[in-house]
């Protein structure tokens, strides 16, 4: 009997919030992109981001290279963070989002996405997603990004009240939702990204495990036994600054590895987030 080749891993990229410290994240992503040799939207099957991580995630999902994003950060994000008054910070953030994303919506993304915000009314997460396969409920009525523009979703995810004003988002159904920074529910969105992979997309959570590194270096958690690519090996050897939080899943009875890479702008940050039932309604 001939052994079937191991399937390619399902890769998830999770990007923390952290304001201008997103430069740390970009440094890690630059190394990953160099090893991958292609845009990260072609490397990762699912990209999640919170706050400054949402800006980076959205740009990666649209096909931008890391060097382009870094140039944008040096020019525009520093300007936003340099403003003092909430009104002026918000205006600068809105201008940045409009200039970069325009009126594009979630169907413009080249890979699956999750942009994490917080509903002001009940402190529950609101997660802007790309396809119905990621939905926990309401698959039949699913609208990518709730029908919002990418710019509105990103601004909502970045609106760290009271430093920024709260963001009012209008959905495709005409509902108006007041959104603030996703860091209020998940500055580290890895748990939500994994929930998409193992709950919404049907992968086996019993095969999902993980660790994380204190210094932003790789801590390997893949036990799937799949054939490692060069990128996997270099990450595992700690040659790329990033973190891994998960491993394999199974689909239709066939083992399929799921590898989750987390980039945190706080090198010594250690966080534990508890899933809230509100995520099931995102």
Burial category of 73 from C-beta neighbours within 10 Å (exposed 0-12, middle 13-18, buried 19 and up): buried
Catalytic residue among 16, 112, 152, 181: 181
Reply yes or no on whether 14 is catalytic.
no
CA neighbor of 153 nearest in space, from 198, 210, 108 = 108
Specify whether the CB–CB gap between 136 and 162 falls below 8 A.
Answer: no
**CA of 277: how far to CAs of 117, 185, 257, in Å?**
15, 12, 26
C-alpha–C-alpha distance, residues 198 and 50, integer Å:
20
C-alpha–C-alpha distance, residues 145 and 233, integer Å:
34
Reply yes or no on whether 224 is catalytic.
no
Catalytic residue among 51, 159, 200, 219: 51
C-alpha–C-alpha distance, residues 137 and 125, integer Å:
15
Long-range own/partner contacts, residues 68-72 (CB < 8 A, 24 or more apart): 69/26, 69/29, 70/23, 70/26, 70/30, 72/100
Active site residues: 51, 181
């Amino acid at each position: 009997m001939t052994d079937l080749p191991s399937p390619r891993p399902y890769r998830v990229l999770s990007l923390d919030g952290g304001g201008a410290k997103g430069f740390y994240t970009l440094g890690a992503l630059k190394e990953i992109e160099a090893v991958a040799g292609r845009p990260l939207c072609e490397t990762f099957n699912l990209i999640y981001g919170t706050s400054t991580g949402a800006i980076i995630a959205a740009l990666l999902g649209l096909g931008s290279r890391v060097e382009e994003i870094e140039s944008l950060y040096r020019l525009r994000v520093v300007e936003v963070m340099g403003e003092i008054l909430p009104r002026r910070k918000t205006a600068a953030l809105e201008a940045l989002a409009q200039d970069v994303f325009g009126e594009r919506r979630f169907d413009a993304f080249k890979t699956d996405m999750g942009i994490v915000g917080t509903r002001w009314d009940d402190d529950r997460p609101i997660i802007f997603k790309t396809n119905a396969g990621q939905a926990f409920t309401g698959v039949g009525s699913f609208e990518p990004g709730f029908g919002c523009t990418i710019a509105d979703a990103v601004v909502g995810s970045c609106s760290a009240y009271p430093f920024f004003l709260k963001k009012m988002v209008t959905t495709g159904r005409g509902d108006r939702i007041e959104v603030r920074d996703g860091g209020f529910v998940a500055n580290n969105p890895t748990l939500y990204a994994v929930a998409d992979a193992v709950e919404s997309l049907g992968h086996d959570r019993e095969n999902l495990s993980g660790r994380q590194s204190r210094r932003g270096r790789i801590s390997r958690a893949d036990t799937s036994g799949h054939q490692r690519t060069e990128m996997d090996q270099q990450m595992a050897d700690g040659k790329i600054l990033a973190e891994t939080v998960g491993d394999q899943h199974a689909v239709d009875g066939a083992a399929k590895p799921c590898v989750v890479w987390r980039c945190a702008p706080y090198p010594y940050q250690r966080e534990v987030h508890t899933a809230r039932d509100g995520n099931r309604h995102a």
